[in-house]
Amino acid sequence: MTNRTAFVTGASRGIGLACARALASAGAKVVLAARDASKLEAASKEIPNSTWVELDLASSDSIKAAFAKAGKIDILVNNAAITKDGLALRMKKDDWDAVIATNLTGAFLAIQQVLQGMMKERWGRIINISSIVGETGNPGQANYVASKAGLIGLTKSLAQEMASRNITVNAVAPGFIDTDMTAVLSDDLKANLLAHIPLKRLGKPEDIAAAVKFLASEEASYITGHVLDVNGGMYM
């Protein structure tokens, strides 16, 4: 990936940070993007040949400004996501809107910022981080699930639109990964989850990063419109 620049959203921690490290290790120049400037700065210091930009995916102005600052992007990893869980019956419209705005609309607007440059170069990799629940559903997460399922549909449509320009568009659907987002789960809930995972462990952020690195590589040039499940066998 020498001479390629990768832009990773939600890169200050968890899966995003692991993806940034993996792409940098493969030779890419990496731009880390997230809302927390202090965490970004600390993360960027430990990743060679990386820079960072502040990015709020709920704001189209912030998205435009971040990509203008980042310059030409060859690889885009749409990883940033938020949750605002609750049963559909009582879910506030604001909680629905916030999750869709960041997880789905924000990802789409980020893609729009890089497409022209990729089309001009006739090379590009777009990798959307979906979720196992985008394929299976999950009670209490109608907004999050809809956003992650939406990313899968977006991936497949864009893959068809962009294939003639040698731009691949794929998704990675993580299962339950050991991150801040799953750290809040109770021991009972974790035990129940593990009972449904054939590999009997939560995934690591590095498991997702390895899949992203592969899909961003030359070796994956004949793969597009695909959803790569990285879930320990929990959903097949």
Question: Among all residues, which ones are annotated catalytic?
Answer: 144
Among residues 31, 7, 9, which one has the least CA distance to residue 106? 9
Structure tokens at 84: 């605002």
Query: CB-based burial of residue 87 (10 Å sphere; 0-12 exposed, 13-18 middle, 19+ buried)?
Result: exposed
Q: How far apart are CA 168 and CA 127, in angstroms?
A: 8
Beta pairing partners, 203: 177
Kindly write down the DSSP assignment for every residue of 92-123, as one continuous string. -HHHHHHHHIIIIIHHHHHHHHHHHHHHHHT-
- Could you tell me if 134 and 149 are in contact, meaning their C-beta atoms sit under 8 angstroms apart? yes
CA pair distance 212, 80, nearest whole angstrom: 14
Rounded Cα distance between 180 and 168, Å, is 30
Say how many CA atoms lie within 13 Å of 189 toward its Cβ.
6
Residue 107, C-beta contacts closer than 8 angstroms, at least 6 positions apart: 9, 57, 78, 80, 128, 151, 154
